[in-house]
Amino acid sequence: MTSTTFLHTSDFQWGMTRWFLDSDAQANFDAARLEAVRKIGEIARERGADFIVMAGDIFDHNSLSPRTQGRALEVLAGLGIPVLLLPGNHDPLTADSPFYAAEDIEGVHILRDEEPIALREGLEVVGAPLKSKQAHTDLVAQALRGLEPTAGIRIAVGHGQVEGRSGEADPALIDLTKVESALDEGVIDYLALGDTHSTMQVGGSGRVWFSGAPETTDFHDYYLGKDGGEVDSGNVLCVTVEKTRPTDAQVSVEKIPVGRWLFEALDAEVNSLEEVEDFLATLEAYPDKECTVVKYSLRGTLSLEAMRALEVGLERWEPIFAALYERSSKMDLHLAPSAEEIEHTNITGFAAAALRELMEADNTDAVNLLLRLNAGIPGATRKEKSRA
C-alpha cells in the first residue's frame, strides 16, 4: 500500500487591497494573509505532510510591489516542506509572472505545464496551469488527457469553476463527469481546486474540493435573510490518500481553520429603540473587531431618540472595527419624530418657521436633516465609506 498526506490551499491573492480598509487596517490585512500561510506550514509539519499544493491565485496580480513579492517569497521559503504552485487567473504564467522568482526557492515547484511532477516513487502531482487571465478550454481535461491508471498516487490540481454562473455554455468550465471518470478509473485520486474562496466539496465522490481562501477575501452576506457570499473561507484542507491498486483509493479530507479575518454584510429592520439596541449588541458581540469588517443595511422608521442612540453607537464602534460602514444602496432608514419630540426640539425663529413649512409640504428628507442637525446627530456627515 502507498499513502500520502498533504495540505490543499489556494487563493491567497497576496497583494490584494480593499477600498474600505484604511492604511492601518490594510497593513494588518496584508500581515494576516502572510501569517495564515505560515500557519499552514506549521500544520503541515505537525501532520507529517509530504507536501503542500497551492491551487492558483497565490498572487492577486502579476504586477506586485517589491515589498509584497519579497515578503511572499520569504514566507514560501520558510515553510520547510515541498510546495507546488499552480498559476491561476489572477497570476497566470505570463512573461511578468512572480512564479519565476519563486522557482529559485528550494523545495518550490511550479506546475508550469501538464507534465506530472514526481515527488517520490509512487507519488506525483499533475497541474492544469493558466497561461493567460482567461482559459478558453477545460484545462483539467487537457491535463488528464493521455494519462493512464496508476497503482501509485496521482494528485491533480486545477483552477476554475465546474458550473457556470449563467446558463450559457462555457468551454473553460471543468467537466466534472470526466473528472469523476478519471477518479473511478484510477487515473487520479484527488482533484485540488482553487478559484472559489469558500471551502466546498464538489460532486459525489468526496475527492474533488475547493479549499477556499485561507483568509477571508469577501463578504458573508445575510441580506434579507438569504445566506450567501463567501460563506466558509479561512480554512486549509488536510488530505490523506491510501491506495494499493488503481481503483481502490481511500481519501479523507479534514478542514482546519487558519484565518482570523471576518467580512460580514448585515441586514436588519429597526423600528424602535429596542431593535436599535439589538443591532448594536450584535456589533458588540464580535470578538476580534480589529480583524472584522462589517457593512450594514438598515430598514425602518425611527424616533429621534432611537436615531440618536443608533448614531452614538455607530460612532463608538467605527474606530474599533477594521471597517464599519453603511451599505448605502440597500439602506432604507427614515426619521419620524413624535409630536412630543418636535415640541422639545427648542427650534425657534426662522428655523421654526422653516420646519413648519417643510412639514406642511411633507418634505420628509429636509425635516429629518433639520431635526438631526438640531439634535446634534452626526449621521448627516458620516458617509465617507458608504458603498454597496
Q: What is the CATH number of the domain that holds 48?
A: 3.60.21.10
Whole-number Å distance between alpha carbons of 388 and 371? 27
Q: Are residues 177 and 267 in the same domain?
A: no
Of 64-73, 217-226, 360-369, the range with the lowest mean pLDDT is 360-369
Of 184-193, 272-281, 326-335, the range with the lowest mean pLDDT is 326-335
Q: Which of 231, 257, 283 is the last residue in one of the domains?
A: 257
Q: Are residues 225 and 328 in the same domain?
A: no
Instruction: Please compute the mean of the pLDDT values over residues 368-373 and round it to a whole number.
Output: 68
Instruction: Please compute the mean of the pLDDT values over residues 212-229 and round it to a whole number.
Output: 82
Measure CA 131 to chain center.
24
Instruction: Please compute the mean of the pLDDT values over residues 242-265 and round it to a whole number.
Output: 95
Sign of CA dihedral 17, 21, 22, 26: negative
Q: Are residues 322 and 250 in the same domain?
A: no
Q: Are residues 92 and 20 in the same domain?
A: yes
Is the pLDDT reported for residue 188 higher than 70? Answer: yes
Instruction: Please compute the mean of the pLDDT values over residues 350-361 and round it to a whole number.
Output: 72
Q: What is the pLDDT of residue 383?
A: 47
| b/e 32-51 (16+ beta carbons within 10 angstroms → b) | bbbbbbebbbebbeeeebbb
| Beta-bridge mates of residue 250 | 242
Residues in contact with 29: Cβ distance below 8 Å, sequence separation at least 6, in sequence order:
16, 18, 21, 261, 322
Instruction: Please compute the mean of the pLDDT values over residues 298-321 and round it to a whole number.
Output: 92
The pLDDT tens digits of the residues spanning 54-76 come to: 999 999 999 999 999 999 999 99
Q: Which of 333, 350, 366 is the last residue in one of the domains?
A: 333
Q: Are residues 239 and 275 in the same domain?
A: no
Whether the CB-CB separation of 266 and 281 falls below 8 Å is answered with no
Whole-number Å distance between alpha carbons of 189 and 49? 17
Q: Are residues 155 and 224 in the same domain?
A: yes
Q: Are residues 205 and 295 in the same domain?
A: no
Q: What is the DSSP letter of 14?
A: B
The single-letter code of the amino acid at 118 is A
Instruction: Please compute the mean of the pLDDT values over residues 331-341 and round it to a whole number.
Output: 78
Domain count, the chain: 3
Whole-number Å distance between alpha carbons of 233 and 213? 5
Q: Which of 228, 257, 286 is the last residue in one of the domains?
A: 257
Q: Are residues 297 and 194 in the same domain?
A: no
Q: Are residues 366 and 220 in the same domain?
A: no
Is the pLDDT reported for residue 339 higher than 80? Answer: no
CA torsion, points 58, 62, 63, 64, in degrees to nearest 10? 20
Is the pLDDT reported for residue 350 higher than 90? Answer: no
The pLDDT tens digits of the residues spanning 28-45 come to: 999 999 999 999 999 999
* Choice between 191 and 384, residue whose per-residue pLDDT is larger: 191
Q: What is the pLDDT of residue 380?
A: 42
Task: Give SS3 for 142.
Answer: helix
Q: Are residues 91 and 224 in the same domain?
A: yes
Q: What is the pLDDT of residue 78?
A: 94
The parent domain of residue 212 ranges over: 2-257
pTM of the model: 0.88
H-run or E-run covering 284: helix 273-284
Mean pLDDT of the chain: 89
H-run or E-run covering 352: helix 349-360
Q: Provide the percentage of residues in the chain whose pLDDT is more than 90.
A: 75
